Amino acid sequence: MKIDSINNGIVIDHITAGKGLTIFELLHLNELENSVAIIKNVPSSKSGKKDIIKIDANIEVDLDIIGYVDPGATVNIIKNGAVAEKRKLALPEKLTNVLKCKNPRCITTVEQELKQEFILTDKENRVYRCRYCETKAE
């Protein structure tokens, strides 16, 4: 299989195998007019297999979403066919409008205009809790 290189754009690399589609959906990459390639189960010397997403456009991507789904992923900014910048990710301290609170009594279910905010409360176990009612994210 041959996937062409991109001249200017973004490559999300070292995604844990099977998580590429989740990142694609959460970033709403299906709404782009530009080419986007999701490459699944690519052989990797470090992890056995990995996913890669190539975006043939210089767009802003939400690094917090990528870090939430897979903090081990890297984001490469490509300019003129070469890596101009490489960003390492980590679990974000706060997520806004990525998760929805499941608590039916949470104020976010009544006040629809409120942002859905979740705070990282346990980094080791990757636990996020609603900012308003402290319900654990699932």
Locate the domains of the chain by residue range.
9-88, 94-130
Name, in order, each residue with C-beta under 8 angstroms of 132's C-beta and a sequence gap of 6 or more.
101, 106, 107, 108, 114, 117
Span 9-88 CATH architecture:
2-Layer Sandwich (3.30)
The pLDDT tens digits for 107-125 are 998 898 999 999 999 999 9
Predicted pLDDT of residue 108: 93
- The 3-state DSSP composition of the chain as helix, strand, coil percent (nearest 5) reads 15, 40, 45
Does residue 5 carry a pLDDT above 90?
no
Q: Per-residue pLDDT averaged across 26-35, rounded? A: 93
The rounded distance, in Å, linking the Cα atoms of 112 and 108 is 6
The rounded distance, in Å, linking the Cα atoms of 65 and 92 is 8
| pLDDT above 70 as % of the chain | 97
